[in-house]
Amino acid sequence: MHDDRSLVEGRLKRVLDERLRPAVYPESVPLEVVVWHAPDEPVPVAEGLAAEPEPIAVGARWGAPWGTSWFRVTGTVPKEWAGKTVEALLDLGFDENMPGFQCEGLVYRPDGTPVKGLNPRNQWVRIGAPVEGGEEVRLHIEAASNPVILDYHPFLPTKLGDKETAGSEPQYRLERMDLAVLDETVWQLVIDLEVLGELMAELPVESARRWEILRAVEKALDALDLQDVGGTAAQAQVRLETVLSEPAAPSAHRISAVGHAHIDSAWLWPLRETVRKVARTTSNMTALLDDEPEFVFAMSQAQQWAWVRDHRPEVWARVKKAVADGRFVPAGGMWVESDTNMPGSEAMARQFVHGKRFFLDEFGIENEEAWLPDTFGFAAGLPQIIKAAGSKWLLTQKISWSQTNKFPHHTFRWEGIDGTRIFTHFPPVDTYNCSMKGSEIAHAARNFKDKGVARHSLAPTGWGDGGGGTTREVIAKAARLRDLEGSATVAWETPAEFFTKAETEYPEPPVWVGELYLELHRATLTSQAKTKQGNRRSEHLLREAELWAATAAVRTGFPYPYEELDRIWKTVLLHQFHDILPGSSIAWVHREARRTYERLADELNGLIDAAQRALAGEGTRELLFNSAPHARGGVAAGGAGTAVVEGRTTVTESSGGGHVLDNGILRIRIDTRGLVVSAYDIEADRETVAPGQAANLLQLHPDFPNMWDAWDVDEFYRHTVTDLTDVDEITPEGHGVRITRAFGASRVTQVLSLAPGERRLLVDTEVDWHETEKFLKLAFPLDVHAERYASETQFGHFHRPTHTNTSWEAAKFEACNHRFVHLEEPGWGVAIVNDSTYGHDVTRTVRTDGDRGTTTTVRASLLRAPRFPDPETDQGVHRFRHALVPGAGIGDAVREGWRINLPERSVRGAQEVAPLVTVDQQAVVVTAVKLADDGSGDVVVRFHEAHGGRTRATLRAGFEVAGVTVTDLLERPLTDAPSPRSEGNEVSLRLRPFELVTLRFTRA
């Protein structure tokens, strides 16, 4: 037989495009349209419905950036349409290739009842099936004219990302407002031909199945009269019945489709718009669940559920019913789909605490999976947190974006720093916006790396990023793929159903140890510095507020601020969303974030001050409150008293220029450039700075990645570097020196100081930053030979190699740390600690002359200046604090990391304050002291082993104890945990490396 594939395939494409799809709606009449443009921010529904509109014609432009327009459409169903299915077609000016990224609408009935959302892939509203004819139609559309930020030429700088700079030029043109007859037979034929055409294109040319489909499609097209599509569509469908009824092979890959609408809680739109996106999407999905009995929809992010509950009660009622029916499924058990690299230990724990508790309180549902399809890599401490929250599975998608190395598994057990293993799945469909295209389904089956031992994978199915969700077309395709020869099989299932089957099928999958590093989006560790600083500061202020409020509540009866802390935690957790904290959102989002963090800081400082004054009492004695988990200056961790400062620091000028700082522990030499050329550990007789090098070196790189400006830094940025060594002024100040220097359009002021009795050189840096597309680093070249280094992560630290033996190691040229980076040779090490930065790089070179030793350089990433999506990223004044800690063991790194983030507070009062809880082992770090969330008055203490070794510890409560229980993160007793050995107010424990423990003390 002659090969006529291209002829038939071309015929199919043209007939679909030019005859069949237009014939889905064979008859239509226009609706009358009027509009009212809200003058500013969105208004309540009642106000929008009652507003006085003005006429608008199809073809007219509408919608200033970030505006809201209320359209009212009215009309009458023609009498001659009686018995037919009629829909309103409401096209606001959509580009169907941009669902979630442009204008959207929510349709209401005149009484304010929401009907469904409108988006580029969902432009219809059912009027009747069938209609009687003569029905009056009246619908209202709350239309959001969100501007397109990520356009067909992506990453171009735009001022549209902030309402304050976006202007008022209309963004859209009203395209269609009609009543139309839906020909369901033609619609079904279109789906049949799409499914078969897409499947056919994925089959081998040599396969008989491909040719069978080709011949059936050809016969169907032959049966179709293109001048009478509606009259002949049923005949064409008959020609396809045989090929559509052939069952899949028994060995076919099995896909669990989960209805999905990934909705970024903020990204190319502000938080307030996400509230409306969620309402539109949930309206659509509850309506679709009513129409499609097999469909299952899952939605994560408790915050988004709370938005529906609080802002759209009518939609919430429909959601609750669908949840009760088991078809609208809470997923993930987190407050938001957060970044997992940068949130601190407690914050990462609270994501699960608040997320899981919301679903338990509202629905009595316990989530057992973490659902993070779009998060930019996963910290090595996360498995233990997932387990401690009572969950056991993880789903993500984003690792498939890695540029260099292909991850070797799709289903595996992920082992964290403490040895906890979590059953994990990466959907091989390689998208969290699956639309059931044949190419997607075939890719999932081909791509699945666990063939031969497993055959199940999951496909998050529906339009996402900006929401929208699953469509009736997608569900219709899935129905045809349920059991179809040549294809993977598809069934709608909940995440729990998938994971249960997958784990049963593959009980001993391979194990991946350590972080799940995304080889992309590395610059998200640095972009939008003030957002990151706001997060870090808020985390530590919350620690202080809980600690001192709990202490004051137990000691003085101080009213514990349950509601305030709950609200503030949820606000901080929201801003850890994976496009807010990473700095990849529009200017509006980060402008609001800065203001939010300032407001939270004021409120938390007020709570802390009130609790500390209640503890200190009335008096004139100066007390230092120590919120850090280690004693300092003679003041116990979690206590208050009079600090003791021992020793002195001298600041002298060098004979050859520059200055020497000496406190008897360290001797720091600063040259005339303001650079540290020596950091000498006097007791160890050991130099810290590599020979011929200088620390505290600011370095500037060009920074113009190939794509994803705010997200990415590409390795070639290192090819060009400018050392900022010109200095304007160096003057002694206190226990150190002040240095000022200028570069480009920017200016830096640094204070290097060495306090008496301290083993750390503080580096306070203020940058007035006005560069564009540049990357600023702070370098510390160290005379340390180390094949690996430690960087802090949640509830411990993680080691990365300093070398680049393999492509996996080379790809980690920018990585995340929390409060410290630590390197060591046996018996001596160095730590670099920080109060607000996350991104860093570590490189090593071997000196070819002199001692031929190894220079290991640690560089902290301070600032970037990408122009997309925020063209003014990071412009302005920033302050950073780092410290160089020579002679530091890992315990010193842990301690100094906490101290730099939790400075002492001075309060005048009458008496010292004893800690509420003490631990006798430095390796055990208490991360939270609080009252139980249930209001019982029980004291909850969370701690972990922080040095990476086994240890014994005794924890003592500074109050009378009636009982103590080991709990999960939600403060529920752990039935499988051994009871702690306790006597009186003391609890004795044995901890494995990095083990996390939560104890709940009942007060006597």
* Catalytic machinery residues: 374
DSSP-based three-state secondary structure for 85: strand
Q: Where would I find the beta strands (DSSP E) of 688-827?
A: 697-702, 722-723, 729-733, 736-743, 746-753, 761-769, 774-782, 788-793, 796-801, 815-816, 820-825
Gap between the Cα atoms of 312 and 937, Å rounded = 35
Residue type, 937: G
DSSP-based three-state secondary structure for 850: coil
Nearest to 816 by CA among 581, 593, 627: 581
User: CB–CB of 392/496 below 8 Å?
Assistant: no
Tokens of 98: 């941009």
User: CB–CB of 345/794 below 8 Å?
Assistant: yes
Residues ≥6 apart with Cβ < 8 Å to 32 = 73, 74, 75
Q: What is the DSSP letter of 338?
A: B
Write out 489-556 in H/E/C secondary structure. EEEECCHHHHHHHHHHHCCCCCEEECCECCCCCHHHHCCCHHHHHHHHHHHHHHHHHHHHHHHHHHHH
Tokens of 215: 């011949």
Residue type, 576: Q
Gap between the Cα atoms of 704 and 771, Å rounded = 13
DSSP-based three-state secondary structure for 128: strand
User: Is the peptide bond prior to 869 cis by the omega test (within 30 degrees of 0)?
Assistant: yes
Strand order in the sheet with 905-909: 640-641, 621-625, 905-909
Nearest to 15 by CA among 227, 176, 184: 227
User: CB–CB of 616/911 below 8 Å?
Assistant: yes
What sign results for the dihedral spanned by CA atoms 436, 439, 444, 445? positive
Nearest to 464 by CA among 276, 273, 278: 278
Gap between the Cα atoms of 457 and 253, Å rounded = 8
**Helices of type H across 795-889:** 807-810
Write out 704-726 in H/E/C secondary structure. CCCCCCCCCCCHHHHHCCEECCC
Neighbouring CB atoms inside 10 A of 223's CB total 16
Tokens of 531: 């957002």
CA distances from 894 to 203, 822, 851, 926 (A): 57, 9, 31, 12
